[in-house]
Amino acid sequence: MPVGTLATVKGIPQDLLEEIGPEIILSNTYHLYLRPGVETVRRLGGLHGFMSWPRPVLTDSGGFQVFSLSDLRKVREEGVTFRSHLDGSSHFFSPESSMEAQIGLGADIIMAFDECTEHPADARRTRESMELTLRWAARSKKFFEEHKREVQWKEVASSQSPVGSNPGLLAAGDWPLAAEQQLFGIVQGGMDLALRKESAERTIEIGFPGYAIGGLSVGEPRHLTREVVEATLEHLPADKPRYLMGVGTPEEIVEYAAMGIDMMDCVLPTRAARHGLLFTSEGRISIKQARYAQDEAPLDPKCPCRVCQRYSRAYLRHLYAANEVLAQVLNTIHNLSFYLDTMRTVRQAISLGDTPRFPHAAER
Ligand SMILES: [Zn+2]
């Protein structure tokens, strides 16, 4: 899922995003709640209508941003009081108010309100945090069940089929234009494998149509992330979507997909693009480097995206060096294309019964 924090996947208009072909994007409750406000988005047709996006949207609960962005937060049983990172104003999020915000934003998939346990955390703190997340999950579900609704949106004139062959991807016209909102649960438990198992089992007891693994990519080493994902996955039902929050590099998303993860989100492709870091079949390219100043080759000769089909590395390097806004747009189009192409090869491998793996540069 490309990340569209403020109801925009930064640097790319919606019609081009549709063409690149993500089936769903992620948006951030915390940011939209602060600006422009949930009520404004709701009145303007929810996220689908407001941002003119005719495919599914998932919203996070706001919990992660409260814990990572805001100052002076205070966590109690009832919820979290925090200060806005924009103007210092005081706000309160609870499982109920997070559900209310996400329902109002018109998201298709809504995330339970959880506490993202910091890393490192001792055994007692990790358990207390996990227990709080479980109580909040039950409260999230209760409020959600009483208030959920059907999200409807209009077909957008520019909607078109994604380019290329996309195994398992819906064709234009097959996208549903209405769907009942769904609530996913989130497994916590820090880096403690026994707590992860307990959190998974007790979250399943509460019962959700999909499960996320949260509380990772919080500064722990990558081998530990992998270990926790593997240990948590085996306790989550394989016939429900399993969503790993906040990862990863192109190599990592293939690896996690091979382990059984169905959904991921990451700001990396879009954020790196804006900093001139580009993912290609030949490895990473930092386009600002002087070595590309006279390079007439496309960014990635194996990439079918409109940027690689049209422009040279020299031109992209020039745009970046001159701080032209087009640099961010073109770099974003390429990086997202590369990520979604990577996931297409993963789907293709799975549909053929193969284990997805990341092709090394030499094999591509
Ligand atoms: Zn490209």
Check if the beta carbon of residue 74 is closer than 8 Å to that of residue 80.
yes
Question: Could you tell me the pLDDT band of residue 323, with boundaries at 50, 70 and 90?
Answer: very high
User: What is the DSSP code (8-state) at residue 164?
Assistant: S
User: How far, in Å, is the centroid of ligand 1 from the Cα of 299?
Assistant: 7
User: What is the DSSP code (8-state) at residue 284?
Assistant: E
Choose among 14, 57, 3, 53: nearest CA to 272: 3
Phi, psi (rounded to 5 degrees) for 185: -90, 160
User: How far, in Å, is the centroid of ligand 1 from the Cα of 262?
Assistant: 24
Residue range 329-345: average pLDDT? 97
**The pLDDT of residue 175:** 74
Torsion of CA 15, 18, 19, 20, to 10 degrees: 120
**Burial of 321 from C-beta contacts in 10 A (0-12 / 13-18 / 19+):** middle
User: How far, in Å, is the centroid of ligand 1 from the Cα of 162?
Assistant: 15
Does the pLDDT of residue 37 top 90, yes or no?
yes
Q: Percent of the chain beyond pLDDT 70? A: 93
Residues taking part in catalysis: 60, 265
CATH 1.10.3720.10 fits 14-158+176-242, yes or no: no
Q: Which residues of the chain form beta strands (DSSP E)?
A: 25-28, 57-60, 71-75, 80-83, 90-93, 109-111, 150-152, 178-180, 182-187, 211-213, 242-244, 263-264, 277-280, 283-286
What is the side-by-side strand order in the sheet with 263-264? 25-28, 57-60, 109-111, 182-187, 211-213, 242-244, 263-264
Question: Could you tell me the pLDDT band of residue 65, with boundaries at 50, 70 and 90?
Answer: confident
User: How far, in Å, is the centroid of ligand 1 from the Cα of 43?
Assistant: 37
Domain residue ranges of the chain, discontinuous segments joined by +:
14-158+176-242, 271-351
Check if the beta carbon of residue 319 is closer than 8 Å to that of residue 326.
yes
Does the pLDDT of residue 162 top 90, yes or no?
no
User: How far, in Å, is the centroid of ligand 1 from the Cα of 280?
Assistant: 8
**The pLDDT of residue 3:** 98
**The pLDDT of residue 164:** 47
Question: Could you tell me the pLDDT band of residue 231, with boundaries at 50, 70 and 90?
Answer: very high
- Token digits for 240? 């429900």
User: How far, in Å, is the centroid of ligand 1 from the Cα of 334?
Assistant: 4
Q: Is 162 left (phi over 0), alpha (psi -120 to 50) or beta?
A: beta
User: How far, in Å, is the centroid of ligand 1 from the Cα of 54?
Assistant: 24
Give SS3 for 192.
coil
User: How far, in Å, is the centroid of ligand 1 from the Cα of 338?
Assistant: 6
Q: What is the pLDDT of residues 188-206, one digit of tens each?
A: 999 999 999 999 999 999 9
